[in-house]
Amino acid sequence: MSMLRLISILIALQSSLSMAQTPGIGVLLAPPMEPAAAISAPKQDDSLSDLIGVDFRDIADFAKQRLPEAAQTLWVLRTYPHVFLGKDWKDDTNPQRVSTPVFATIVNSSPIYGMQLYQVPEVDGTKKVLPVFFMFGRADGSFVFRKLRLNFEGPKLKHVDFVQDYNLSQTNFVAKIGLLQRKLILEDAALGLKMVYPLGVGGLDDITIKDQAMLLTPVAPYGSLEKKWMLDGRSDKEYYLSLPFVRVSTSKGNYTPIGIHIQQNWPKFIRGFDSHGCMRLREKDLQEFHSIVRYRSGSSTPLSILYMIDEYPEHPYPLSNKRYKKIANYGTADKPAVQLDKDNLVEMVSVKGALPMDKLLPQSDPRVQVISALTGVEKRPAPTPPPLNMTHTPDPKEGQPD
């Protein structure tokens, strides 16, 4: 071997050793013929499956430690909305700027409705990918659902990958309510869009049938949400606050007195058994829910109301299990009597303790109030006032349970 060749080999070896000792540079020295180490695929964090469909604002408030990236995402959204909206976000001089939700003042002027996971996060060491979606309104009056993948390294959002847009007119949502779980799920399974909302429901009637009890919100295995009965802003009673009233209808489109409207407890929302039969949502949830079922294509949205629904996810907003309301009995157990309040509704009283589940009639019991597919609300016998006749077509602003 020539001297020149030997010098070249020594210089190359010295250079390799120098690189191996340089911070931030790694040199893999593997034995001959040893197969390269396999690159590990990201793992799905199934422990967060119960947070799919939950608004990031609620995760940040009630489950922050489980998904700390939610709070960081909200900060980026408020500070740099164009990161999520891209060409749909223009500056103030452009008339095509995305429209801001009507309730923006209560969500820090967010340009979108809610942001939710549509799949569980993917984790690879310190890297995490959040598959999310959200709805926003365009200046032309249309609504769009957008799917994105948020790529985190540690606590920082590094980049956002666009997945797909769906116009609201493309969706096929179904609504499901679990009364004892006090939650409402709105889902388009084909598109992978799911939202879950905490819900307040009806109190207890434990005087109509002696030693038995029933919820004041009726079950509706085959109900619907008909656009023709919805009110975009109800104002005949002060407590509706001129906000949407989404009426529950039968599967045949018949009118019922039951609806979904704004919460009645301020400032704290009570996820309990409190009403005369209607169901209650927080304002941000009511506005989003109403916008979807009101402006999607078709004349109605299928709805089922059951005691329990076998459907994930749950919602982290706390359940109110230490008190409930029931119809006030001004008579005796054998001869009950009720009185009406200033809104012509039966008076109710607040009771400390959990709902007496041992007295609650099973959902299958024929005496349970059910929204029929044919005649509207099948009212069980009531001491007073007499049951409503639901066979006619009433004014949408007639008095209803709250």
pLDDT digits (tens, 9 = 90+) for 292-340: 999 998 889 999 999 999 887 889 999 999 999 999 999 998 999 999 9
Are 235 and 280 within one domain?
Answer: yes
d(CA 183, CA 179): 7
% of the chain exceeding 90 in pLDDT:
52
Per-range mean pLDDT, top range of 189-198, 202-211, 240-249, 362-371: 189-198
Mean pLDDT of the chain: 79
397 — pLDDT class (breaks 50, 70, 90): very low
For residue 141, what pLDDT is reported? 79
Q: Lowest-confidence range among 35-44, 216-225, 348-357?
A: 35-44
> Does residue 113 sit in helix, strand or coil?
coil
Domain assignment present for 3:
no
Domain assignment present for 321:
yes
d(CA 376, CA 119): 38
Are 161 and 180 within one domain?
Answer: no
Residues in the chain: 402
Work out the average pLDDT over 223-238: 86
pLDDT in tens, 241-260: 778 989 999 878 888 889 99
Are 297 and 331 within one domain?
Answer: yes
Domain assignment present for 29:
no
Tally the C-alpha atoms within 13 A of residue 402's C-alpha that lie toward its C-beta: 22
Are 165 and 181 within one domain?
Answer: no
pLDDT in tens, 97-116: 444 443 333 333 456 888 99
Find the CATH number of the domain harbouring 183: 2.40.440.10
Are 107 and 196 within one domain?
Answer: no
Last residue of a domain, one of 170, 200, 230: 170
Cβ(333)–Cβ(208) under 8 Å?
Answer: no
Residue entry with tokens 């071997």: 1
For residue 41, what pLDDT is reported? 63
Last residue of a domain, one of 170, 198, 225: 170
Domain assignment present for 5:
no
Domain assignment present for 342:
yes
pLDDT at 2 over 70: no
Work out the average pLDDT over 26-54: 60
pLDDT in tens, 287-297: 999 999 999 98
Are 180 and 144 within one domain?
Answer: no
Domain residues for 285?
174-378
* Cα-based distances in Å from 283 to 88, 101, 147, 261, 263: 25, 12, 24, 9, 7
Domain assignment present for 282:
yes
d(CA 271, CA 263): 9
Are 239 and 294 within one domain?
Answer: yes
Work out the average pLDDT over 151-158: 93
Work out the average pLDDT over 14-30: 31
Are 199 and 151 within one domain?
Answer: no
> Which has more confidence, 264 or 398?
264
d(CA 130, CA 89): 22
> Does residue 389 sit in helix, strand or coil?
coil
Domain assignment present for 36:
no
The helix (run of H) or strand (run of E) holding residue 149 is strand 143-153
One-letter amino acid at 384 equals T
Are 191 and 73 within one domain?
Answer: no
Number of structural domains (the chain) is: 2
pLDDT at 370 over 90: no
For residue 74, what pLDDT is reported? 92
Are 129 and 116 within one domain?
Answer: yes
Nearest CA among 347, 338, 352, 348 for reference residue 381 = 338
Are 217 and 71 within one domain?
Answer: no
For residue 389, what pLDDT is reported? 30
Cis, peptide link before residue 218, omega less than 30° from 0: no
For residue 96, what pLDDT is reported? 43
Domain assignment present for 366:
yes
Are 129 and 219 within one domain?
Answer: no
0.85 exceeded by pTM: no
184 — pLDDT class (breaks 50, 70, 90): very high
pLDDT in tens, 53-90: 999 999 999 999 999 999 999 999 888 888 888 877 65
Last residue of a domain, one of 137, 170, 203: 170
Q: What DSSP designation does 52 have?
A: B
